[in-house]
Amino acid sequence: MHWAMVSGCKGSLAARMRDVARNAEFRPMKVFLSQQNYHVGNFEANTARILEALRQAEEMGADLAVFTELSVCGYPPRDFLEFGDFIRRCEEAVDEIRRHTSKVAAIIGAPARNPDPLGKDLFNAAWLLHEGEVKAVVHKTLLPTYDVFDEYRYFEPAFSWSVVPFKGHRIALTVCEDIWNLGDNPLYRICPMDRLIAQEPDLMVNISASPFDYDHDDDRKEVVRRNVLKYGLPMLYTNAVGSQTEIVFDGGSLVYDDAGRLVHELAYFREDSAMVDVSTLFVRKQGTVVEEPQPRDPARPVRNGDPSRIIEYLTGEHNIAQIHEALLLGIRDYFGKMGFRRAILGSSGGIDSAVTLALACEALGPEHVRAVLMPSPFSSSHSVDDAVALSRGLGNPYDIIPIEGPYEAMLQALSPVFGDMPFGIAEENVQSRIRGNLLMAIANKFGYILLNTSNKSELATGYGTLYGDMAGGLSVLGDLYKTQVYALAQHINRGGGCIPRNILEKAPSAELRPNQKDSDSLPDYPSLDRVLHHYIEGRMGPSEIVATGVDAGLVERVLRMVNANEYKRNQFCPVIRVSGKAFGVGRRLPIVARYLV
């Protein structure tokens, strides 16, 4: 960039930007936006997807096809980036795509080597390929390290910024986080668009891999709109779709005109594409930008509203509908990308296993999901009846394997050690671990993957048995509070599901001792979930939570349970992430700690 040359030009930058925008309006350019479901490390499949989209773009008369962040290798590749062979295969894929750009240009995402021995060896880059050549490589500047992100572990941030000329346009090309450094408390010291705007671009393009949570679609739209209004330029924004282990990408790619108005919005939770005539995005008259706020759906509770209404927000229909789609995508992609076909789970007749079973049947097909009912001496007859009714309604195979015999055998084997000690948690957990063993035995024998049925309220408070009901290959509900599980069950039933009414209405119980109820060990779930959300998602301290109107004793009790059970969660399986702070890779707390315990 040549700051001295810019500052010496006649006329204001704003006036020159208006001239650039007016001239750009008459330059024809058709852009094909493509959001695709990539598979980390599956270079052949990812490249084939990109080439197929290029073929479609050519048939539709596009000049440029825009893909998403790290589309060549899939996002997030994590420590695969430390393998030289992985980077070599990224480069081979880029080279293969380059050879197919004689007519239609492509903007793709892939790592790029850093030739400078100083700093990290790689950049997270956007590549412009055209006419069989690499026309430009733009490096990502802002490398997030919060929540599920760890990009500065691998990548060097950009240290120079240049617009990309193409078809008479001057494109400000950025990568994901580069457009998020807005607001009163920005996370980074550099804002790439502040550097690029001095070079008189007329169009912004951002390629992203922005994970789903049930707030993020609104956040994304607002960030894109604020960039458009700040810089006076239209934006094309592409976002990845698909699930990579625990992280779900929801797509929803966006096109905004230079007045800050939403022009195109691609589908959520599935692959989609759109053709955009860039000339239609320059709508300002005489340099005037008309702000047209796009208010949040008035029927949708506001995240940062009255803290006493947080349960209403968490269980709102808009959020629950999105969560439903995210969980289905998470299950399908976990099984499909791993090459698995069949799932198994323990069906207790309770709400958690019922919702997990319904989701698995919808995602994989009921014929591919096996439920195992394992009543103990303390199981109620209606629990077995409810579980049977559920499987019959869903049409999935099920087995009934009573555990009274194995349970008595275990107690007999332990009697020399336990002696005359009274019945307690050890005997309760023996039942849970017998069930876990049975499920894993069947899974091993027939090639099933065990789905875990624990919810976020239980995981937060340690209300689960290690190597028992906490076993599994994938946690479906581990990022949903219990109140959200009930709301999701109602949503599934409204959509034609068949979760029996008795499962929805009966008091939740682990049924590991006579007349047991969850309320014997935990606060009522609305009160519990309110405290948990403030602490986990809101990162509030005890006094801040009490200030929202919660009893101080309840707050102390709940936070002690959360922090005392970090060791359990550290051994838990991957959790499909649907909130802004899920248990797993995005929440890193020490196990051996004394805070609030």
Type and span of the H or E element at 218: helix 216-231
CA angle 134, 256, 98 (to 5 degrees): 15
Q: What is the DSSP string of 507-522?
A: PP---SSTT--GGGTS
Type and span of the H or E element at 562: helix 552-564
Q: What is the DSSP string of 228-278?
A: HHHHT--EEEEE-EEEETTEEEEB--EEE-TTS-EEEEPPBSS-EEEEEEG
SS3 assignment, position 105: strand
Query: 425-446 vs 404-418: helix axis angle to the nearest 10?
Result: 130
- Residue pair 373/361 in contact (Cβ under 8 Å)? The answer is no
- The rounded radius of gyration (Å) of the Cα atoms in the chain is 27
First to last CA, the chain: 54
Tokens found for residue 50: 């990109």
Strand runs (DSSP E) across 471-539, as ranges? Answer: 474-475
How many residues can be counted in the chain? 597
Query: How many other CB atoms are there within 10 angstroms of residue 283's CB atom?
Result: 16
The neighbouring-strand residues paired with 237 are 206, 254
Query: How many other CB atoms are there within 10 angstroms of residue 145's CB atom?
Result: 10
Q: What separation in angstroms does the CA of 168 have from each of 201, 202, 279?
A: 11, 10, 12
Tokens found for residue 417: 């050690």
- Residue pair 58/103 in contact (Cβ under 8 Å)? The answer is yes
Nearest one of 215, 216, 235, 217 to 225, comparing CA atoms: 235
d(CA 371, CA 356) in angstroms, rounded, equals 10
Q: What is the DSSP string of 318-367?
A: HHHHHHHHHHHHHHHHHHHHHT---EEEE--SSHHHHHHHHHHHHHH-GG
d(CA 587, CA 404) in angstroms, rounded, equals 39
Active-site amino acid positions: 69, 140, 176
d(CA 420, CA 434) in angstroms, rounded, equals 22
